[in-house]
């Protein structure tokens, strides 16, 4: 779908992305992550030619990006920014239909598309379509920014730290909305973040970057279990305070953070599975089943939070003594 071959971006004599080789699959939710200044946003912006590459070749659907008409290219790529960038003098509906109108969609098709998209992010179309965007909360504005990127049915959606300015509750809600939208509309999403927990929750695969180069590409599970080098290990420790491959599901059970009451569950783990596996699973679902030699046990997100809280309290008591 999207392929970088030996791509480099330089400003004067300084390379901000260097000898970059990567393939992003069609329909994949792909996350670029790394410290500030590592080149992840530059990499993202080269996909829609907001930044032009210096060397190498970038392909979309097997065609060199240099061969695309710029308008054709950008109409097929939705773009969501942290700053949202909605037009304040327009209504919600007018903001959403900017690209469909330029593509000369019929009024009926645009009206139906607005209804479909607003409904998909739990905003009542009759209530919101005629509102000015200045009347919306930050979370509502960002939802409009996301569905606007989907409005003209592009194949690719680029998202540059879209939720970093939002409060944790709104941010988590929007993350779930974006995952549902991506699965429903089957888009290829390239998502930039500096938050490792967000990358784990959203990404089918994750690319860890540092100083304009790739340190590791893999699923969250592959990166957590087998970090490629010391940089990735340290980045995981910094981004996930409780990252520790030696702790297992048994650790929570030994401390009593589980329930015997049978619950609905979609996944199961063994007592010997790592704490990382547990965190990954509970980032996707609320409760999972733990298989034991006797009766099964059930661990929820709430159990995990209480375990972490207990661990913090124990460390604070230790520091005081």
Lowest mean pLDDT among 100-104, 147-151, 239-243, 305-309: 239-243
Q: Is 99 among the domain residues?
A: yes
Query: What SS3 string covers 176-219?
Result: HHHHHHHHHHCCEEEEEECCHHHHHHHCCEEEEEECCEEEEEEC
- Sequence length of the chain is 321
Split into its structural domains, the chain has a count of 2
Q: How far is the C-alpha of 122 from the C-alpha of 144, rounded, in Å?
A: 11
Q: Are 203 and 190 in contact (CB under 8 A)?
A: no
Both 222 and 299 in a single domain?
no
pLDDT digits (tens, 9 = 90+) for 3-42: 999 999 999 989 999 999 999 999 999 999 999 999 999 9
Q: How far is the C-alpha of 131 from the C-alpha of 288, rounded, in Å?
A: 41
Average pLDDT over residues 228-241: 85
pLDDT digits (tens, 9 = 90+) for 252-290: 787 788 887 766 566 788 887 888 888 888 887 888 888
Position 234 scores a pLDDT of: 87
Both 95 and 162 in a single domain?
yes
Both 61 and 203 in a single domain?
yes
Among 197-206, 247-256, 309-318, the range of highest mean pLDDT: 197-206
Both 211 and 288 in a single domain?
no
Q: How far is the C-alpha of 189 from the C-alpha of 158, rounded, in Å?
A: 6
Position 266 scores a pLDDT of: 63
Both 225 and 141 in a single domain?
yes
Q: How far is the C-alpha of 305 from the C-alpha of 290, rounded, in Å?
A: 17
Both 75 and 130 in a single domain?
yes
Q: How confident is the model at residue 244 (pLDDT cuts 50, 70, 90)?
A: low
Domain boundary among 239, 262, 277: 239
* Per-residue pLDDT at 306 exceeds 90: no
Q: Which domain holds residue 275?
A: 249-320
pLDDT digits (tens, 9 = 90+) for 52-94: 999 999 999 999 999 999 988 998 999 998 777 889 899 999 9
Position 309 scores a pLDDT of: 82
Position 90 scores a pLDDT of: 93
Residue found under tokens 């009593």 = 256
Position 50 scores a pLDDT of: 95
Average pLDDT in the chain: 89
Q: Which two tokens stand for residue 55?
A: 């060397």
């Amino acid at each position: 779908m999207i392929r970088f071959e030996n791509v480099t971006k330089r400003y004067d004599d300084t390379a901000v992305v260097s000898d970059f080789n990567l393939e992003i699959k069609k329909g994949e939710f792909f996350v670029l992550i790394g410290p500030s200044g590592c080149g992840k946003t530059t990499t993202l912006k080269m996909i829609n030619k907001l930044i032009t590459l210096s060397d190498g070749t970038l392909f979309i659907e097997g065609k060199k990006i240099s061969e695309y008409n710029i308008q054709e290219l950008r109409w097929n790529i939705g773009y969501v920014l942290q700053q949202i960038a909605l037009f304040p003098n327009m209504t919600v509906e007018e903001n959403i239909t900017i690209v469909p109108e330029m593509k000369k969609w019929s009024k009926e098709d645009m009206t139906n598309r607005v209804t479909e998209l607003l409904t998909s992010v739990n905003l009542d179309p009759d209530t919101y379509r005629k509102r000015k965007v200045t009347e919306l909360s930050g979370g509502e504005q960002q939802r409009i920014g996301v569905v606007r990127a989907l409005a003209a049915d592009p194949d690719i959606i680029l998202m540059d730290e879209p939720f970093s300015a939002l409060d944790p509750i709104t941010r988590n809600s929007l993350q779930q909305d974006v995952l549902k939208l991506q699965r429903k509309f089957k888009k290829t999403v390239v998502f930039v973040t500096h938050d490792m927990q967000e990358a784990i929750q959203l990404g089918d695969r994750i690319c860890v970057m540092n100083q304009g180069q790739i340190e590791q590409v893999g699923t969250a599970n592959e990166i957590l279990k087998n970090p490629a080098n010391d940089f990735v290990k340290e980045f995981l420790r910094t981004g996930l305070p409780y990252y520790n491959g030696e702790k297992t599901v048994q650790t929570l059970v030994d401390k009593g953070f589980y329930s015997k009451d049978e619950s609905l569950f979609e996944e199961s783990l063994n007592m010997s599975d790592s704490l990382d596996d547990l965190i990954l699973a509970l980032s996707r679902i609320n409760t999972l089943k733990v298989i034991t030699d006797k009766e099964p046990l059930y661990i929820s997100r709430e159990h995990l939070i209480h375990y972490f809280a207990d661990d913090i309290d124990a460390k604070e008591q230790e520091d005081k003594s």
